[in-house]
Amino acid sequence: MSLPSDLLEQADHLSRRERQRPRQASLRRSVSCSYYAVFHLLTAEATAHVGPNLTLNATQRIQRWFDHGDMKRVCGMFSRPEAPRQLSAILGGPVSADMQMIAQSFIQLQEARLDADYNLAATWTRLTAQQYAQVAKNTFAAWARIRRTHESNVFALALLSAKLFDKER
Amino acid sequence: MNPTAENFEIDRQKVQEILARFTLPSEIEKVDTEFDLDSGGDPAVRLTFHVRDEARIGQEELERLTKFLSEVTSALLQGNIAGFPYTRLEQKV
């Protein structure tokens, strides 16, 4: 199994780990795993899209270039059918429903992960953790459907170099 | 009214209008909305869908409810609200 798939499995496992009275630590780690499952899926796939012949060592180094904040910004551009003009010129059409779902989920999961890891005042319920694990699963499924499309290539490029899409060229 | 408060008020009206178009799944008791900023300082609309205590949520229900939240998220984004809609399910039990 790959790291993203292992994290996805772990997110699900942690959300159900205690049969009664789930521990906050389990639920928080579950939410964090859901985010990182999607984060590592997208960075691995984006790197493979942009550099299909890179060595493993180079791939692993490049995967560290991705910036969480930039990825959120790019996902914001892909989260509605109508992309910003500088992006739609490259896309050549509206953002697909699967791509919108992936982008929306990434933003949702990133915010949830920050809350789970740092907001000690919040109390998590099992259902919330299960919801985010399901969102991550749906994101994997949506990516599998579009990973070989023009749109996913543009998305990969944007994730790696968000600034290219900040203005019209 | 400062610009942020004004945006929140516009969003509040749009969110109510868009939510009213949906029929809530039977497991949902009520929806709470909160307007603030997210961890990145961007406008956020936080929607908490409270699931009834007695509702039994198995895999099938989880998939259905998650799909419903995804549809609400898309509708809100297409409704051009200023804040990003963060949706979550909560159940006390």
Looking at residue A168, its pLDDT comes to 65
Dihedral of CA atoms A75, A79, A83, A84 in degrees, nearest 10, equals -60
* Beta strands across the sheet bearing B84-90: B28-37, B43-51, B84-90
C-beta pairs of A16-21 under 8 Å, 24+ apart in sequence? A16/A126, A16/A130
Task: Tell me the pTM.
Answer: 0.94
Residues 6+ apart with CB under 8 A from A116: A27, A28, A29, A31, A32, A122, A124
| Residue B2 C-alpha, separation from nearest chain A C-alpha, in angstroms | 25
In chain B, count H helices and then E strands: 2, 3
> CB-based contact (8 Å) between B36 and chain A?
no
> CB-based contact (8 Å) between B73 and chain A?
yes
What would the pLDDT profile of A44-102 be if each residue is shown by its tens digit? 999 999 999 999 999 999 999 999 999 999 999 999 999 998 899 899 999 999 999 99
Mean pLDDT score, A29-39 = 98
Paired sense of beta strands B84-90 and B43-51, if any: parallel
> CB-based contact (8 Å) between B64 and chain A?
no
Looking at residue A161, its pLDDT comes to 87
CA distance B42 to A73: 10
Among A76, A111, A125, the residue with its CB nearest the CB of B91 is A125
CA distance B58 to A80: 30
What would the pLDDT profile of B43-67 be if each residue is shown by its tens digit? 999 999 999 999 999 999 999 999 9
Angle, CA of A137, A63 and A26, to the nearest 5°: 40
CA distance B45 to B15: 9
Mean pLDDT (chain A) is 94
- List the domain boundaries for chain B: 5-90
Looking at residue B9, its pLDDT comes to 81
Q: Cα–Cα distances in Å, from A166 out to A62, A73, A169, B8, B67?
A: 21, 10, 9, 26, 31
Mutate to test the interface with B, among A34, A74, A101, A104 (most CBs of B within 10 A): A104
pLDDT band at A138 (very low <50, low <70, confident <90, very high): very high
Query: Which of A133 and A20 is assigned the larger pLDDT?
Result: A133
Helix (H, G, I), strand (E, B) or coil at B46: strand
Looking at residue B1, its pLDDT comes to 45
Query: Which of A9 and B92 is assigned the larger pLDDT?
Result: A9
Burial category of A59 from C-beta neighbours within 10 Å (exposed 0-12, middle 13-18, buried 19 and up): middle
| Residue A164 C-alpha, separation from nearest chain B C-alpha, in angstroms | 21
Which CATH class, in words, describes the domain spanning B5-90? alpha beta
- Residue B21 CB neighbours (<10 A): 9
Looking at residue B2, its pLDDT comes to 54
ipTM: 0.92
pLDDT band at B7 (very low <50, low <70, confident <90, very high): confident
> Any idea which residue has 């914001």 for tokens?
A76
Residues 6+ apart with CB under 8 A from A85: A168
Looking at residue A169, its pLDDT comes to 65
What would the pLDDT profile of B19-41 be if each residue is shown by its tens digit? 999 999 999 999 999 999 999 99
> Any idea which residue has 């995804």 for tokens?
B70
